A and B are shown apart, each in its own frame.
Chain A
Amino acid sequence: MGFQMRPRLTTRPAPVLAVYAAFVFAFIYLPIVVLILYSFNHDGVGGFPPRHLTLSWYAQLFADSSIWDSVLNSLVVAAASVALSLTLGLLAALALDRASFRGIALFRRLVLLPLILPGIITGLSLLMFAVFAGVHLSRVTVFLGHGTALISVATTELFAGLQKLDRAQEEASLDLGATPWQTFWRITLPNLRLSLIAAGLLIFTLSMDEIAVTFFLIGRDNTLPLEIWGRLRRGITPEINAISTLIFAVSVGLIVVWYHLRARSLGGQAREFIAQA
C-alpha cells in the first residue's frame, strides 16, 4: 500500500548537498592546485592569471644543493624512523593484542599520546631530555623524536591488522609442533604484511613532513621541512612550489603503489578462495 511511495533517503538525489560537497572539495584542493600551477609560473608566486609557463624554477631547484642535502637528511631520518617505530609498534601491538598485565590500559594511552598531543609538547619534552642527558642535537635526536612519536601510528595500524587476523592459523601452527618463534616468522608476520606496508608508508610520509617535533630537536643538518621553513622566513620563492609539487607527485605515486599492492593481494585472496571452493 504505502510501501515505496517515497524514494529511499539513500537513493534520492540531493542536488544542494552535491553542490556543497563540490564546494568543500574545491576548498580542499584550491591551495594544492595553486601551488602546482605557480611552480610553472615565470613571474613567480602571485598575481593572476599565471602566464609564461616555464620549467626554470625546477632547473633552479635541481641546481640547489642545500635543498637536496636536506632531502637526503629527511630520507635517512624517515627510513630510520620507519625501522624503529615499526619494530616497537609491532611489539606494542602484539602486547596489546595478546598480553595482559597490570597497567596495560595506561601503557596503551601513553603509547598513543603523541598521536593526539600537539607536536610542541612532545618536541619540547624530548629537547629537555636531550639537554638533561647531555646529548647534542643532531639527526639522531630528530630520528629519536620521530621514531618515538610515530610508534603511536605503527601501533594503531598494526593492532587493527592483528585484530582482523585469523587466530586459527597460529593455533594450528603451534599444535602441529612449530615453535612460537617459527609461528611468528612464518604465520603472524606474513599475514600482517599489508598492515606493515601500510604503516610503513604512512610513517615514512609523516616523518618526511614532520615539523613541530623536528623544530626543537634539529641540529645543524636541516630536514627538508626545516629547510623550507628557513627559506620562508626570507621570503616566498617558486622553488618551494617546485619542490612541494615534486613531493606531492611522489606521495600520490606512493598511494597508487599501495592501492596496487592491496588490490593485488585482495585479488590473490579471492583467487585462493575460489580455488578452494
Chain B
Amino acid sequence: MYSRAYKSLVSIPPLLWVGAFLLLPYGLMFAHSLWAVRDGVIVHQWNWENYKTLFSNPLYAEVLFRTMRIAASVTFCSLLLGYPLAYYLAFHASARKELLYQLVIVPLWVSYLVRGYAWKTILGSEGVLNGFLQYLHLTHEPVGFFLYSPFSVVLMLTHIYTPFVFLPIYAALEHIPRPLIEASQDLGAGSLQTFWRVILPLSMPGLLAGATFAFVLSLGDFLAPLLVGGPSGTMIANVVQSLFGAAFDWPLGAAISVGILVITISLLFLSEILEKRWAFK
C-alpha cells in the first residue's frame, strides 16, 4: 500500500538522526573506555587497563554491590506498595477507579528533583518530620539519621518509582479476563488460591516490566545520593560523575558507564525472556 519512496522518506531521517546522536555517542563512550589519561590529557592509546582496574580494585565492586542492594530494595518496596494498590484499583475500586487512577498519575508530572527536595525538607534534622516528632513530644532533640543514609535514598527512589511500577501491573491486572477468575472461584478455589494460581501468574509480565524499570533506573541514579544520600549512600553513578568531574579520568568513567550499560541491557533481555515465558497464551 505504501510506496518505496514513502517508506524511505519516513525511515531515513530518524535512522540518520539516531545513528548520529545516539549510536555514535554510545560508540564514542566505548572508545573512551579503551583510551587512557596521561598528564591530564586523554590519549587515544587502545588498551584494556580501565577494565582491569575495575576488576582488580575492590572499591568498585563494593560500590556496585551497594548500588545493587539499594536498587533491589527500591524495586522490592515499590512492588510492595504498587502491586496491592494496582490490585485494589483493578478489582475493588469500582466507580472510583478512573479518579484513583488519575491520582496515581498526577505525581508523575511533579519533577524528580522537586520530589527529592521535598523529602530533604521532610527528613532533615531541622526538617518537618523532626518538627512533628518534637511537637508530639516523642523526641526532644532532632534525630539526625533520617537523612543522608542509604535508607533515605531507598525512600526517595521508592517514592519516585512506585507509580511507574503500578502502571504496568495495573494494565496487566485489567487485561485478565474476568471469567477466568470467576471460573477459579466457581471451581472451589479460595480467594488466596485464586490469587496465587490465577491472578499472580497472569500479572507476571506487568510485574516484571515494572520491576525491571525500577531496578534499572535506580541502578544508574546519581542525583538521589547527592540530594539525600550522603557519603554512605554513594552509588556507582556517583563514581562515574566524579571521574568525569574533579577526578578527570574520562576513560575510567567511560568504562564504568559501559559496565552499567551492559548490566542494563542484559537485565532488559532477561526480563523480556521471562515476560515471554509468563505471557498469557
Contacts and interface: CB of A to CB of B under 8 A. Distances in A.
Given A10-B178, A21-B88, A35-B121, A99 B22 contact: no
A126 interface: yes
A17 interface: yes
B222 interface: yes
A144 B223 CA distance: 21
Given A116-B216, A232-B227, A48 B132 contact: yes
A102 B77 CA distance: 41
Interface string A238-270: 001100100110011011000000000000000
Contact of B21 (A47, A129, A205, A252): A129
Contact of B15 (A9, A107, A128, A148): A107
B243 to A, nearest CB: 10
A255 B109 CA distance: 9
Nearest to A92: B14
Contacts of B111: 208-209, 211, 225, 244, 247
Q: Identify whether the interface residues of A are mostly helix, strand, loop, or mixed.
A: helix
A114 B114 CA distance: 22
Contacts of A208: 111
B11 A95 contact: yes
A35 B92 contact: no
B194 interface: yes
B91 A9 contact: yes
Contacts of A148: 17-18, 21-22
Given A118-B221, A211-B223, A232 B117 contact: yes
Given A91-B13, A107-B15, A171 B1 contact: yes
B135 A129 contact: no
Interface in A205-248: 205, 208-209, 211-212, 215-216, 225, 228-229, 232, 236, 240-241, 244, 247-248
A273 interface: no
Central interface residue in A21, A98, A132, A215, by most chain B CB within 10 Å: A21
A91 B92 contact: no
Contact of B110 (A89, A248, A254): A248
Contact of A236 (B89, B94, B120, B191): B120
A101 B11 contact: yes
A35 B18 contact: no
Given A107-B15, A124-B253, A151-B14, A211 B112 contact: yes
B147 to A, nearest CB: 11
A178 interface: no
B251 to A, nearest CB: 10
A120 B237 contact: yes
Central interface residue in B8, B22, B29, B261, by most chain A CB within 10 Å: B22
A228 B223 CA distance: 13
Q: Identify whether the interface residues of B are mostly helix, strand, loop, or mixed.
A: helix
B92 A10 contact: yes
B162 interface: yes
Contacts of A91: 9-11, 13-14
A110 interface: yes
Contacts of B241: 120
Contacts of A244: 110-111, 114, 117-118
A210 to B, nearest CB: 9
A249 B63 CA distance: 39
A95 B10 contact: yes
B107 interface: yes
Contact of B106 (A38, A99, A252): A252
26 contacts: A9-B191, A10-B178, A17-B88, A28-B163, A29-B107, A34-B121, A48-B134, A48-B135, A88-B13, A91-B14, A92-B14, A95-B14, A111-B14, A116-B213, A116-B264, A119-B220, A120-B222, A121-B264, A122-B25, A129-B21, A167-B1, A171-B1, A212-B221, A225-B111, A251-B109, A255-B106
Interface of A: 3, 6, 8-14, 17-18, 20-21, 24-25, 27-32, 34-35, 38, 45-49, 88-89, 91-92, 94-95, 98-101, 107, 110-111, 113-114, 116-122, 124-129, 132, 144, 148, 151, 167, 170-171, 174, 180, 205, 208-209, 211-212, 215-216, 225, 228-229, 232, 236, 240-241, 244, 247-248, 251-252, 254-255
Q: Give the 5 A-B residue pairs with the shortest CB-CB distance, closest first.
A: A118-B220, A48-B131, A31-B118, A125-B25, A209-B111
